[in-house]
Structure 1
Amino acid sequence: MIGRLPLDEQLGALREVLSRNDVLVEVLARAATLDLPRWYLTAGCLFQTVWNVVTGRPPTHGIKDYDVFYFDDGDLSWEAEDRAIQAGREVFADLPAEVEIRNEARVHLWYEEKFGVPCPPYASTEAAIDSFAATTCCLGVRLERDGRWRVYAPHGLSDVFNLVVRPNPVLAPRAVYEAKAARWREQWPELSVLEWPGSSGVVAGPGD
């Protein structure tokens, strides 16, 4: 199993697997032309592509959008973020997918209103990725100028390849994690979903 390989071999496997998603590869290439500061393609489009390949589904199955995060704390106005969003709409216009661009330096300005808990200002794009509701989601990839893939995976890749969804109780509330996990298991019933800390501790796995 890929999830039991040494990390360097898992990184090679990650690139090979993600490269099967033609839309993802094209988003990476086009995002690199936008010159967004400290950007990553992140979240569902990455780990869901892995889930699809591991379970024999089409690489784009169940992926609702492609999230591009960047970090610019020099201008926290909505107008500056919107300029990046509009530039992205032009670059990604002909792709058969929705690409969402967000400045993670601004998240603290709207997070509490949307999710009901305050969010301290992030210090980097990586810090934003660190706060996803599940550690399995904490993954980012970008294409460097020399063509190399830069991968940020603070919790490693084993859970991603092993179809394990593990809670990350650092910011998002339990309800957000459980709602996401339930939605994912509808699309990928093979997932093993670990319970939120302090609950029963039972693993919800395939067939449960």
Structure 2
Amino acid sequence: MKNPHEYYQSILFEMITQSPALSAILQTLSHLHPQTYLSAGVLRNTVWAHLHGQSFDLKYSDVDVIYYDATEMDQHSQKQLQQHLEQLFPQQQWDVVNQALVHTWYRKDNGEQIQPLLSIEQALSLWPDTATALAIRLNGLGELELIAPFGLQDLFELKLCWNPALVSYATFKKRIASKQWLQQWPLLQAVDPEIENIGR
């Protein structure tokens, strides 16, 4: 029997391969910039919609693309890639970010600058919630490749879990409210970290 991560990964990969839109995006990314990953909301929402028996239309969706290139000194290349994707897929809202440059503009809740990130995996490990922290690309062999530092259980078990690495719990709760996740996907459960700690 597969372990939970392998089991959920196989389901996720099947969802992606059965989605013409996601497959087309991943194919395009692998040709334009082989080190780019599809990440965050578009993957998370695909899973949540599936688990709620809903269809998920990529039209007009936000699509996050990330990569890591420490040789880039400014955002020129990532903006060029974003513009190219906007031309190829005009119905999506694109956000392309070189994670090696995040420290130049991102600030913590207290206004402090973060240290330069060292990899895609480290970047994902700092994201506000565990279910969103995943990225997928099509590698040189044409195989799907996943990075998910927190695994996939929270995502597939519909748990909204705060990651305290970078943002406060208050910011995490505001994020949930502003995104209206609980209204759109009522089976989601926001996990209270204090209750979780008591139960351990």
TM (norm. structure 1) is 0.82
Q: 1:19 corresponds to which letter in structure 2?
A: T
2:87: which partner in 1? 90
Deviation at 1:107, TM superposition (A): 0.7
**What amino acid is the match of 2:14?**
E
Residues in 1 aligned to 2:108 and 2:124: alpha-carbon distance in whole angstroms = 20
* 1:41–1:140 contact (8 Å) kept in structure 2: yes
Any unmatched runs of 5+ in structure 1?
203-208
Is 1:178 equivalent to 2:165 in the alignment?
A: no
Aligned counterpart, 2:12: 14
> 1:44-63: CA deviations, max 9, x gaps?
11111001001100123798
CA gap of 1:63–1:8, structure 2 versus 1, over 3 A, is farther
C-alpha separation in 1, matches of 2:110 and 2:21: 30
Contact kept? 1:28, 1:143, Cα under 8 Å: yes
* C-alpha contact (below 8 Å) 1:34/1:88 kept by paired residues: no
Helix, strand or coil at the partner of 2:142 = coil
Q: Which runs of 5 or more structure 2 residues have no equivalent in the other structure?
A: none
Deviation at 1:155, TM superposition (A): 1.4
* Structure 1 residues 132-170: Cα deviation after superposition (integer angstroms, max 9, x where no partner): 101111111100121100011121111111111111010
In the alignment, is residue 167 of structure 1 matched against residue 159 of structure 2?
no
Question: Which residue identity is paired with 2:6?
Answer: D
Q: Distance in 2 between matches of 1:12 and 1:190?
A: 22
1:158 — aligned with what?
A: 153
Aligned residues: 193
**Greater shift after overlay, 27-36 or 108-117?**
108-117
Q: What's the TM-score, normalizing by structure 2?
A: 0.85
Aligned to 1:35: 33
Q: Residue 206 of structure 1 aligns with which residue? A: none
User: Which amino acid in the other structure matches residue 120 of structure 1?
Assistant: Q
**2:79 partner amino acid:** D
Task: State the Cα distance separating 1:8 from its structure 2 match.
Answer: 1.9
Question: Quick one: structure 1 residues 18 and 117, their matched pair in 2 at CA, closer, same or farther if it must change by over 3 Å?
Answer: farther
Q: Give runs of ≥4 in structure 1 deviating > 6 Å.
A: none
Q: Secondary structure at the match of 1:66?
A: strand
| Shift in alpha-carbon separation, 1:62–1:23, aligned structure 2, 3 A | closer
Distance 1:189 1:63 in 2: 22
